[in-house]
Chain A
Amino acid sequence: MASPALEADHLTKRFGDFVAVDDVSFDVHPGEVFGLLGSNGAGKSTVIRLFCGLLAPTSGSGRVLGIDIAKDPEGVRRRIGYMTQRFSLYDELTVRQNLNFFGGVYGLRGRAKTERLAWAIQMADLGGKEDLVTRSLPGGWKQRLALACSLLHAPRLVFLDEPTGGVDPISRRRFWGLIDSLSGEGVTIIVTTHYLDEAERCDRIALLDTGKLVALGSVAELKEVFAGRAVLEVICPRYLEAQERLEKEDWVHEVSLFGDRLHVVVDDAEEGRRRILALLESDGNTPATAERIVPSLEDVFIHSIEAQGGKA
């Protein structure tokens, strides 16, 4: 296999006593769509900021496209694209002025600049909108313009930090279409998100929790965590009481709460279903359903984080 597009090797970042990134190691393959997942404060953005050279690692090392992030942050920056959730654009400038500015800042000029700008407008589907003031654009357009600005210098690797935050579902889907086509052109994409449906679209994902890497692999691989076990979705009137009750049983591996539903992990689906019904019926808390479901990534994450917590 080709050398990795990005490598994290025992990467650690401390802010005083706070460990934002704790001994994280992983590789990203060229052309891969790699998802960094985790809740707020899990360390996703810090990892990206380390790789963009905005922060220096406390210990460990990282390489982007073969360049060491601590030794040559400028060399890294020249070769990467970076887009944040905040769509860092100049609101009072027009679409074209924004593209022109970022093109200039990336050192483009002459024909190359004209060509890249035309490519960007076409890619982001902003044809005919060039002279609109950015402030007046809907969120989805701003998002595509921000992506276009970060791709003007044709980087081989792009960091997208929560790129779909605050954007409507249709624009999100459209944006992921763009990500897929970029990946098809061989661009490596590292994306953070907290939307699980987006995570399912990544080739591989890394799950971070309080700065630690708790799971790494393809979506299918991670789902195999549940191999040989079944996840049952239980809907019953007093779900909090039921959760407490089920957690005490040794034949129940895990109980997690999704809104007003319980996901219960057991060894055997039929056996588990029978036992759950019997147990909750005796409490007068008869479930409306206790059905086997296909585990979602969310089940995987909760499982991974709890397993990690159990070890510590």
Chain B
Amino acid sequence: MGALAYMLMPSCSMLADADDTLCFAIADAKGGVVDWPDEEYLEPGYNNDCGITENHECDHCDLNPWFQSQDAQDYIEGFGLAQGHNWDDLGRADVMTVNAVTKEIDTPLGRTYNAYANLVYANPEGIELDRSRALDDFEYYDSFLKWASAYVSQKTYRINGNCNRDCETVFSKHCVIARTVSGPFRNDYTDLYQTFFYDLDAVWRASTIVHEVSHARDGISHDACACNNGSACDSRWSRNGANTHELLWLAAYHYTPEDHPFITPARRARAAALFNTRRELMFCETPQWQLGDLRSINELPEVYVEQVACSEDPSNLYYCIFLAN
């Protein structure tokens, strides 16, 4: 009986591989070719007996301008990826690989590019936007999306890829998405985990980047209070923390024009749904600010960066103690 039970018991290595599929795929490369993992919603047997859910998000591949231009890839690398660690293992050589079955961009680096593309191409200027101007130059950064692109660029030092999953339990989808370490001498870095690459859609990945960069900027982690998410909470909106910045970016992305060349109606709707979810889940005190309050964010970014982000009450604005830069 004992021997039978032992035979049925999954080995430790099996469990480790199951929870660490990206690292395993890299280690198991055949002739240097990695069989990159698919996303959770591509798994077979998911109620797809009639083919209804054999779907995928295409991960924005049709409309992604970075795919066509080396200049665009270089611009995206300038967000701290060029200085980052581990990207050679995570798709540097085959960043444009597309999964033959799903037609998705499937390398972790390519999927990270897709996330940054949402920051870059949300602006009509795209890669022509000068990210190096002072962050209080609101005559130039005259929409929140322009400002956010420069903010992410200027406040990021290094973005690392990390093949690990950091989950509550083996097989769990209750995982750390990314982690930022900040220091006084600007040696901050962000690690992006497997969950970031394969469990999030590209809009959520982009808002995660804004979130993580905010940590690097203010050097403050989350509060140890209890929010609906269970962890990674900010006590309140006016703390001007990572969750506040993430929500502001999602709102700005949602409030782009209907016929935006890059942002489609589905992405705009996704941003609104994510805004509402994260507003509900990520604060210990649910913010009074709502999506409807932020409709001018792409016209007056200075008001939102310098006052709204630090004000709890929409009818009582006051200036942030420290300015954005």
Check if A and B associate. Answer: no
